[in-house]
Amino acid sequence: MTRPLNIACLQTRPMPDMVSALEEALPLARQAVEAGAEMLFLPEYCGGLRTDGPAVAPPSAPAGAHMFFDQMRLFAKRHSVWLNLGSIAVDGLDGRIINRGFMIDDTGNITGQYDKIHMFDIQLSETEVFRESAHVSPGDCAVIHDTPKARIGHTICYDLRFPELFRDLAKSGAEILICPAAFTKKTGQAHWHVLNRARAIESTRFVVSACATGPVPGGGETFGHSLIINPWGEVLADGGTEPGLIQATIDLDEVAAAAGRVPSLTADRPFTLDPDSKRNVA
C-alpha cells in the first residue's frame, strides 16, 4: 500500500512589488496544476522582496488586505489545489513586519499560518551584513498544518540552521517538513544542500524547500535550487538556478519505513554535560 502525493515547488524570482510577484507566480502555478500537482509550495517572501541596505524591505500589507495573498487564495479555489505560501510580509503592530507563511486549502480557505521564529542577523563580511530583526518581528510558536493529504511542519529560511525545530516537528507527527527560503547565494553555495539533506536524514521525513532564485531588487542575490528530498536524504528534484518548477510524486509511507530503519526520533537518552571531563578518568 502506498500514499502518493503529487507536489510542486514554484521557484520564483524576487520581485519588488506584489503585482510583479503575481505575474511571476501565477504562470508557474498554472503549469504545476496542469501537470497534475495536488499541492504547491512557494518560496519565502513570494509576495515580493527587495532590500534597503542591510535590511529586507518587502512590500507588505495588513493580513486582511494583502493583494498577493488574496489572489493566490482565489487561484487555489478556482483550481481546487492546496497551496502553501512560504511567506509574505504582513504588517505588524510594532512598526515592523511579520514574515508569515500560510496554508491554503483547495477551496481558498486559510487552514494555518506560521511566523518565522529565527531572525537572519549575520555578518558574512565587512560589506555583507544582514539584520532581519531590525525590521521583522519574530514568531515564537512552531506549527504543523494538518491537511487531508499530509501533516506538514512549517519552517522558513534561517530556521533551517536549527535542527531541534525540525526534530520537534517530526516527533510531533509532521510527515513533510518545509523550509521556503530566499537563501543568499553565498550561504546557499556553502550550506543549502547539506543542511536540507541533514534535516531529512535526522528526522526521517520528507523535506520540501522552495527557494527564490536570482538578484534581489535593491541588492543581494538568492540561491535557487528548490529541493524535494525523501526521508533517506535522497534528492528527488533540484530546481537549479533558473526560475521554473520542480515536481515529484512522493510516497508518504516512506516516512514510516525510514523511521523503522533508523528510529533515532525514539532513541533519545537523557544526559548531562560534565564540566570537568577529567573527573571520571580512572
Instruction: Single out the residue of 89, 104, 116 nearest to residue 41, CA to CA.
Output: 104
Residue with cell 555578518: 123
String of b and e for 67-80 (b: at least 16 CB within 10 Å)? bbbebbbebbbebe
* Residue from 24, 38, 44, 202 carrying the catalytic annotation: 44
Q: Identify any residues that bridge with 208 across adjacent strands, giving them in sequence order.
A: 178, 228
Question: Is there a catalytic annotation at residue 44?
Answer: yes
Cell of 100: 508569515
Other beta carbons less than 10 A from residue 110's beta carbon: 14
Cα 145 to Cα 153: distance, rounded to the nearest angstrom: 6
* Residue from 38, 46, 132, 157 carrying the catalytic annotation: 157
- Concatenate the DSSP letters of all residues of 89-130 into one string: EEE-SSSSEEEEEEEE-TTS-EEEEEE--S--EEESSSS-EE
Cα 144 to Cα 127: distance, rounded to the nearest angstrom: 37
Question: How far is CA 32 from each of CA 10, 52, 81, rounded to the nearest angstrom?
Answer: 8, 33, 10
* Residue from 116, 132, 175, 179 carrying the catalytic annotation: 116
Question: Is there a catalytic annotation at residue 116?
Answer: yes
Q: Which residue numbers are catalytic? A: 44, 116, 157
